Structures are given as C-alpha cells and as structure tokens.
Chains A and B, each alone.
Chain A
Amino acid sequence: MDYYKIGKVEAIALILILMLNRLILTLPKNMYLLTGNSILINAVWVIFLMFLFVFLLIKISKKFVGQDLIDIAEFVGGKFLKVIISTAYIVFFVSISGIILRDFVEGIKILYYSQIPTWLLASLILVIPVVANLHGGNSVIKFNSIIVFITLISLLVILISSTTTYVPQKFFPILGNGINETFFEGATNIYAFSGFCFLFFVMPLLKSSKDFKKIGIISTIIGSIYLFFTLASLLFSFSSLVSVYEISPIYLIMRSTDFGIFFQRPDAIFVFTWILTLMSYLSVVIMFTSIIFKKITNIKTTKYLPYILVSLILIICLIPSNLAQIKTLEDTYYRYFNVVLVFIISPIILVIANFKKRKSMEGAKIEKNL
C-alpha cells in the first residue's frame, strides 16, 4: 500500500473520524448513563484531561520527530515491547471496529432493513473499506477528509436545530449521579476521545512534523466542541428518554426535531451520511492496522491484508448474539481497554522513552565533553 505525505486538514480528519462515529452511535448515551445530569461538568473535566494529554504528547513527540508509537516502543523495550504494543493496537482496532460495525448495523436494521440479515448488511458495508484500501492509502485519506467534513456539517445542523427544545433547568441537580460518577469514575469518559489514538501513528505520515502540534490542538478543540454540544443537546432536550431508547441519541434528537414543513423526514439523509462515515472509519482503521502489521512482520506488501482484516472484523461483528451483549461490550471492554491502552500504557511508554532519550543525550554530551 502506498502512502503519500498528508497535510494538516487530512491529519485532523483522520484523528476525528473515530470520535465522530462514536458520537453518532451510543457514546453520548453511555456517558450520560454514568454521570446523569452532571454530564456537562464531566465533559469539561474530561476535555481538560484530554488537553493535558495532548500537550504531554506534543511535548514528548518533539524528541521523536517522524516516529510513531511502534518505533518509540522499540526504542524503549526493543522488539519485544514493539510486538506487544503493536499486537495490542491491532486487537484494539479490529475488535472495536467489529463492535462498532455491529452496533451500527443493528441500528439501520431496526430503521430500514429489518428483512436483510445482519451478515449481509455488515458485508456490504465492509466492501468499501476493502476497495478503498486496495486503491492505496491516498484514496482512504482523501475519502476520509471529505466524509469528516460532511459529517461535521450534518451533526452541526442537528445540534443547532435541537436548540429549540432545550430545557436549561436540566443542568441541575448539578452533581447528577454523584461526585465519584462525575469526577473519578467519570474520568473514564475520556474514552470519548479514543479516536485520538491515531495521533500516535500519524507523525510519519505528515508532510511537516512541525504541524503535529497544530494538528493535535485543532483536532482536540474541534472534538471537544462537538462532544460538549452533543452532550448538551442530549441533556437539555432528551435526558428523560435516554435510558428508555435503544437507538442512537443523535438519531433520536434528529427524529424529534422539526425541520419545517418542507423537510418532513430528513433522517434518511443523515443516516446515509453516517453510513459513509462508518465506511470511512473502517477504511482508516484497516489502513492503520496494515501499517502496524507491516512494521512488526516486515512483509513486502500489504495488498491482501485488507481482506484478512475485514474478515476478522466481520467475524467479531457477528459474535454478539443480541444488542444487550453489544452494549455491555461497549460500556465495559471498549471503555476500559481503551482507557488503559490509549491513555495509560501509551503515554507511559512515551514518558519512559523521553527519559531514555534524555539520558542517552546526556551520555553522548558527557562523552563529547570527555
């Protein structure tokens, strides 16, 4: 697979794609169910933590220009750590994609395609990522940039139109389900930013490594704004119905929002854009997984990897036997695996790498002085 060097916009789109997929699906609902009415305070807390994380990442990455997490892991712990981290990320990407795909397919099955079997719908969606990846990384990245832009616009339309139904008093009771749920356990809601794990891998693809700082900050700002306003819409408009509805809260907001007499049932347009978003996300995941796999195996070509990865995603997608299992997986496995891998283990590796680099630089300096 060939990759060309990407600019700022393309990199930001790559980082935002997973988060947008999660916002469209059940992420806001899961966050709300944990914290209750204190969801906005929790969002501010989580955004604050996310900015700390991004600034730390930017600071550490300055010493590892042009290297991704896998290279840094190799620098810290040799081939062993490189393989461990790579495998963890491959498992993470493939399993999460399978769960997200199943969640989405079940949603559109309820809405439009109740007669079509799950495996067929999932397979049809997976065709596009395979084709996109066979055409190379360039097509994946360019397609993703367009789709992210469309999704951001569609979400913005929904969020703005829902403001007419806002009940601001729902901001109270201010601490919702409790202090622990808002701040301590609530900190695990940082998994909303799980898409930012692509920040670890985007550095070698950049045209200019100086852009990394801007990319990190801009994508965090955009992600934070969308997260905050999605949660605000959910809280102020439909919080009493969140636990009742099975379906995506954003779809619920859209279905209940009045777009005037001319646009009576615009949900199909939005669902169509969301299908494209999912396809784009799967394409990006397969692309990054192929890059990681290539690094640990040293294979000559990744041409046939998309077939294998897509098959794995399809198998994982079909494992849960009902929606309750998917929800449990999302709220336990996805939340904690994500937090541990992306927000704990990976930064620890970066910090250790930073110390090791500093030590080796100091050693080299001493040698030079001697």
Chain B
Amino acid sequence: MKKIYKKYFILFIILTLICFNLSGCYNINNIDKLAYVIAIGLDVGESNILKLSFQISALGNSSGGDGPQSDNPIVNTVECSSIDSGISIINSYLSAEINLSHCKAIVISEEFASKPISKYIYTLLNNIQVRPDTNIIITKCDVATFFEHSKPELESMAAKYYETVPTSSDYTAYTQDIKLNDFFSALNSTYENPIAILGGVNNNASNSTNNSSDTPNFEKDNSSTSGNSNIDSSGHIETIGLAVFKEDVLVGELTALETLCHLITIGKIDRCNINIPSPFIEGETVTLSLKQKHSPKITAEFINDSPYIRVEPSFEARLLTVNENETELDAESLKQLEDYATSYLNSQISNYLYKTSRTFKSDIDGFGKYFLKNFVFWNDWISFDWNSNFENTFFKVDTNVNVISSLLLMQS
C-alpha cells in the first residue's frame, strides 16, 4: 500500500513539473516582449553627455528563409548621462524591452572617442547580454548618419551585414576584425594599446581627397580610408582602415596601406594584394598577391637604453599584373621584382611603425610584450612604463619577398 502511495506521489511530482514546463511562460520574457538591438551607437550629446542610439531589428515576416527581420531596422536615439539610463529611457518608450544579446556592433563617433571612453567600454562588457565578439567601429561621421546609411547591398539583414563586413580583412587586409574583447584586453594591457575598425559613410569618389593629380595612381588606392575611399557608390557605409587609440582616447587613423602594414607586423595577413611601382616601366603599377609565410620574426632589445625592434616579415608573392608588351618572367626579372617589392614594403612598414611610435605614441602592435623578458619582477616592468617609452623606439624592417611567378600567364 505504501509503495502505491509512493508511486502516485512521484507521478504527481513529474506531472506537476511537466505542467510548469509546458504551460505558457506568461511572466517570462519572450521574443514578442523583446526588442533585439543589432547595433549600439555612442555619440556626443547636445543636451546631455551621451547620445545613445539603438539600431533595432524590426520583427516581420519570417518567410523567405532570411529570418524574422525586415530590410529597414528601426533606429532610436536618446540623450542621456549613461548607457544604462539610456536603455531605461528607451525601454519606457518602446513597447518591448531592449535586449543586447544579438548586438553585432558598437559604433562610436570619432568626436566621442576623442575623449576617454573606457567607462563606456567597461559598462558594456559588464552587461551579460553584450557578447565579447561584438565588433567595435569608430565612425568618421555621426552615429545617426552611419545608422541611416547602413543599408547592405548584398545582404537582406543588417545584423548579418555587420557580422560579415569585418571579415573582408581576410582577403583585403584593409581593415581588421576587431572585437570588443580585443579592445578591452588592449585597454587593460600594459604592453599594447587598443585599435578599432574605422567606419564611415561613402562620399562620392569624385569628392575624395585622394584624387589629387599629384598623387601617383598606386598611392591613390593605398591611401583610402573609410569615408574617403575611391568607391563610386555614395550613401553606403564602408569600413577601410583602423582607428588608433592611446589608452582610451582616439589619437588617429590608419589608411588602407598602413592597416596592411599593421597586419603584416602582427602576422595576421592571410592573403592580400599590394600595388607597387613597376620595376619594368616607369609610371606603371604592378599588383602582387602576397601570402605571409609565417608570423614575422621580431627581435626586441635595449640599445643605449632605447628600445630597438627588428621586424622580419617573409612573403610568398605572385604577380597579378600581366602585360603583353613586357618581358618574360625569367630569374633576373623576378629578382628585380623581388628587390622592388622588398624595398617598397620595407619603406612602407618602416613609415607605418614610426607613425605609430612618433605621431600616435601608441603601441598598437603589442611590441611591449617582447620586452617583458628583460624584467625579472612585474613591478620593474610597471615602473618602466612601456606606454611612455614607446615613442623612443627605433625600428629596423627587413622584409623578404619571394616572387614565385605570375598565375596562368608567363609575361609581365
């Protein structure tokens, strides 16, 4: 008899648990009650410290396989004193609660980033909904304009667009896929400074400052940055170049070529194309496809109490530019091409390194870590203050380019 009661009791418990689990979660947050933010924007406010913008996914018809989202996300903006107070104000306005768990990008205006932003970064990472893999973008225009123009051409979902755009760095090396966690790590590091993706709205190519007649053609391609590129498609956002920070303050930006040099230095080039002056015809340009063999060898030491860094990147290259009138790619012309490419890359990487050191005074390549071995105790390293000493650093770049051939055709 006792056993029967026990069985009934267990059955009762199981049924109760099932009832609770299968019944409608009337008091729990669900998709209808949440407003999924695709991107957060931080800009300088007019009436308050912060102008906080949310690009929110507009839930719509889920047919068509693109998910429940329309082409035009909603943008809401609020002037507030902090991120959390802004969220509260927007929550009181919207019919759903703001949820940041699908946020793909944090967009910060250049003007806002020119003042210390660490407290905002800390606040965002303190929020459990914000993922560490959210991209961080510094926009050259104001955030409202950036959001207004963030209409992808090849994607139907803005969220997916934000997710895929930074990955172009894998094959262009004109930007880097910088995530919130990378930024935060560098911000807290004693041996490197943070960088962010540089974004902007495409101005018509005819307005580009690169189009001066004095600038060589290959330089026009290399000096592109977001909002200043040669793309003739006005009204869309673009991400070319990187924003450089000294601790938590924006101090400058890198062009497409400088970004490439940065990626070479940190060994994160997968494949890319580079334009160099032709060694065969004056005034012409040749394009090389570069593949970094391995991370560059970096030697760091103190010479006369000044930091000295030697960077030795190594590439395999193939010639992309071919011309029916030119010489055959024999050993001698390949050697000539290699020398040209080596000399060009040495000069560009060296210029880039001195720009970060002397102009920005910001070690965005994390060279400081190579000096850690010179210190025995952590306190000695902290007293040394790498961030202040980086501007005294001397660089030597020794590139090795091995041009294998062109692709299908033999002529160059």
Do A36 and B378 have beta carbons less than 8 Å apart?
Answer: yes
Q: Is A44 an interface residue (CB 8 A)?
A: no
Q: Is A312 an interface residue (CB 8 A)?
A: no
- Which residue on chain B has the smallest CB distance to residue A178? B377
Q: Is A111 an interface residue (CB 8 A)?
A: yes
Q: Is A163 an interface residue (CB 8 A)?
A: no
Assembled-state Cα–Cα distance A177/B377 (Å):
6
| Chain B positions within 8 Å of A319 at CB level | none
Q: Is B369 an interface residue (CB 8 A)?
A: yes
Which of B131, B185, B366, B380 has the most chain A CB atoms inside 10 A of its CB?
B185
Assembled-state Cα–Cα distance A175/B131 (Å):
34
| Chain A positions within 8 Å of B205 at CB level | none
Do A241 and B372 have beta carbons less than 8 Å apart?
Answer: no
Q: Is A74 an interface residue (CB 8 A)?
A: no
Task: Pick the interface stretch among A165-173, A192-200, A225-233.
Answer: A165-173
- Within 8 Å by CB of B375, from A110, A167, A172, A265, lies A172
Do B377 and A175 have beta carbons less than 8 Å apart?
Answer: yes
Which of B188, B190, B373, B380 has the most chain A CB atoms inside 10 A of its CB?
B188
- Within 8 Å by CB of B185, from A110, A172, A238, A258, lies A238
Do B377 and A241 have beta carbons less than 8 Å apart?
Answer: no
- Which residue on chain A has the smallest CB distance to residue B366? A167
| Chain B positions within 8 Å of A172 at CB level | 372-373, 375
- Within 8 Å by CB of A173, from B133, B185, B188, B375, lies B375
- Within 8 Å by CB of B378, from A37, A169, A241, lies A37
Q: Is B381 an interface residue (CB 8 A)?
A: yes
Assembled-state Cα–Cα distance A258/B167 (Å):
14
Given A240-B190, A244-B188, does the pair A173, B381 have CB atoms closer than 8 Å?
yes
| Chain B positions within 8 Å of A258 at CB level | 133
Assembled-state Cα–Cα distance A241/B132 (Å):
13
Do B378 and A111 have beta carbons less than 8 Å apart?
Answer: no
Assembled-state Cα–Cα distance A258/B381 (Å):
31
Within 8 A of A (CB), among B126-149: 128, 131-133
Q: Is B376 an interface residue (CB 8 A)?
A: yes
Assembled-state Cα–Cα distance A109/B294 (Å):
44
Assembled-state Cα–Cα distance A175/B370 (Å):
16
Q: Is B299 an interface residue (CB 8 A)?
A: no
Assembled-state Cα–Cα distance A177/B188 (Å):
18
Q: Is A255 an interface residue (CB 8 A)?
A: yes
Q: Could you mark each residue 252-286 of chain A with 1 if its beta carbon is under 8 Å from any beta carbon of chain B, else 0? A: 00011010000001000000000000000000000
Q: Is B161 an interface residue (CB 8 A)?
A: no
Within 8 A of A (CB), among B170-212: 181, 184-185, 188-190
Closest CB in chain A relative to B156 CB, distance in Å: 18
Given A240-B188, A240-B189, A241-B185, does the pair A173, B377 have CB atoms closer than 8 Å?
yes
Do A240 and B185 have beta carbons less than 8 Å apart?
Answer: yes
Do A177 and B378 have beta carbons less than 8 Å apart?
Answer: yes
Assembled-state Cα–Cα distance A238/B189 (Å):
10
- Which residue on chain A has the smallest CB distance to residue B372? A172
Do A173 and B380 have beta carbons less than 8 Å apart?
Answer: yes
Assembled-state Cα–Cα distance A255/B181 (Å):
10
Q: Could you mark each residue 275-303 of chain B with 1 if its beta carbon is under 8 Å from any beta carbon of chain A, else 0? A: 00000000000000000000000000000
Given A178-B377, A240-B185, A244-B188, does the pair A111, B128 have CB atoms closer than 8 Å?
yes
Do B128 and A110 have beta carbons less than 8 Å apart?
Answer: yes
Q: Is A176 an interface residue (CB 8 A)?
A: yes
Do A173 and B376 have beta carbons less than 8 Å apart?
Answer: yes
Do A174 and B376 have beta carbons less than 8 Å apart?
Answer: yes
Do A241 and B369 have beta carbons less than 8 Å apart?
Answer: no
Do B373 and A169 have beta carbons less than 8 Å apart?
Answer: yes
Do A170 and B377 have beta carbons less than 8 Å apart?
Answer: no
| Chain A positions within 8 Å of B184 at CB level | 241
| Chain A positions within 8 Å of B190 at CB level | 240
Closest CB in chain B relative to A77 CB, distance in Å: 45
Do B372 and A173 have beta carbons less than 8 Å apart?
Answer: yes
Within 8 A of B (CB), among A148-173: 167, 169-170, 172-173
| Chain B positions within 8 Å of A240 at CB level | 185, 188-190
Given A169-B370, A238-B185, A241-B185, does the pair A256, B375 have CB atoms closer than 8 Å?
no
Given A169-B370, A240-B189, A240-B190, does the pair A256, B132 have CB atoms closer than 8 Å?
yes
- Which residue on chain B has the smallest CB distance to residue A182? B377
Closest CB in chain B relative to A112 CB, distance in Å: 9
| Chain B positions within 8 Å of A169 at CB level | 369-370, 372-373
Assembled-state Cα–Cα distance A357/B138 (Å):
75
| Chain A positions within 8 Å of B373 at CB level | 169, 172, 174
| Chain A positions within 8 Å of B366 at CB level | 167
| Chain B positions within 8 Å of A175 at CB level | 376-377
Within 8 A of A (CB), among B248-299: none
Do B132 and A255 have beta carbons less than 8 Å apart?
Answer: yes
Which of A173, A176, A265 has the most chain B CB atoms inside 10 A of its CB?
A173
| Chain B positions within 8 Å of A111 at CB level | 128
| Chain A positions within 8 Å of B181 at CB level | 256
Q: Could you mark each residue 347-389 of chain B with 1 if its beta carbon is under 8 Å from any beta carbon of chain A, else 0? A: 0000000000000000000100110110111111100000000
Closest CB in chain B relative to A94 CB, distance in Å: 28
| Chain A positions within 8 Å of B372 at CB level | 37, 169-170, 172-173
Closest CB in chain B relative to A14 CB, distance in Å: 29
| Chain A positions within 8 Å of B377 at CB level | 173, 175-178
- Within 8 Å by CB of A176, from B128, B131, B133, B378, lies B378
Closest CB in chain A relative to B84 CB, distance in Å: 14
Assembled-state Cα–Cα distance A356/B278 (Å):
90
Do B375 and A241 have beta carbons less than 8 Å apart?
Answer: no
- Which residue on chain A has the smallest CB distance to residue B192? A240
Do B378 and A173 have beta carbons less than 8 Å apart?
Answer: yes
Assembled-state Cα–Cα distance A37/B378 (Å):
7
Closest CB in chain B relative to A280 CB, distance in Å: 22
Assembled-state Cα–Cα distance A205/B298 (Å):
57
Assembled-state Cα–Cα distance A176/B181 (Å):
24
Assembled-state Cα–Cα distance A241/B376 (Å):
21
| Chain A positions within 8 Å of B379 at CB level | 177
Assembled-state Cα–Cα distance A116/B370 (Å):
47
| Chain A positions within 8 Å of B188 at CB level | 240-241, 244
Q: Could you mark each residue 218-242 of chain A with 1 if its beta carbon is under 8 Å from any beta carbon of chain B, else 0? A: 0000000000000000000010110
10 closest cross-chain pairs (CB), A and B: A172-B372, A169-B369, A173-B375, A172-B373, A240-B188, A240-B189, A36-B378, A256-B132, A256-B181, A175-B376
Q: Which residues of B contact A (CB under 8 A)?
A: 128, 131-133, 181, 184-185, 188-190, 366, 369-370, 372-373, 375-381
Provide a sorted-by-A list of 9 A–B residue pairs whose CB atoms are within 8 angstroms: A169-B370, A169-B372, A173-B378, A175-B376, A240-B189, A240-B190, A241-B184, A244-B188, A265-B131
Given contacts A111-B128, A169-B370, 16 further A-B contacts (CB under 8 A): A36-B378, A37-B378, A110-B128, A167-B369, A169-B369, A169-B373, A173-B376, A173-B381, A176-B378, A177-B379, A240-B188, A244-B188, A255-B131, A255-B132, A256-B133, A265-B131
